[in-house]
Amino acid sequence: MADTKHAPHGGYSPDMDARAHEATYNGFIQFAEISTAVVICFVLALAVGGIKHAWLTAIFGVVLSLAAGGLGAMAPSVGVRAPAAVGVLLLLALVFY
């Protein structure tokens, strides 16, 4: 890894746009969090369908988690909480169905 301790300007040259770099990095982190939550919802939906034999509930959970992931991506204030709420509903369906 590059040694930036001795680099002037904290590792950034004046030609680099530090704010755009940080915004891109934060967007990538938010995308990774939302994607992980949606994939966990997919796994929970497969568990509901496979263990409880409730495939219509599983399909509804997949569609709902995709919509929640899109909502979380479009509204940064919501973020990962929307697919996490769907994950909690699918977990409850798995436990109490």
The predicted structure's pLDDT at residue 40:
98
Rounded to two decimals, the pTM is: 0.81
The predicted structure's pLDDT at residue 28:
96
Quick one: pLDDT band at residue 85, thresholds 50, 70, 90?
Answer: very high
The predicted structure's pLDDT at residue 19:
85
Quick one: pLDDT band at residue 12, thresholds 50, 70, 90?
Answer: low
- Phi and psi at 15, nearest 5°, equal -75, -20
CB 44 within 8 A of CB 61: yes
Quick one: pLDDT band at residue 20, thresholds 50, 70, 90?
Answer: confident
For 33-77, the pLDDT digits (tens) are 999 999 999 999 999 999 999 999 999 999 999 999 999 999 989
Exposed/middle/buried for 30, CB within 10 Å: 0-12, 13-18, 19+? middle
Q: At residue 5, does pLDDT exceed 80?
A: no
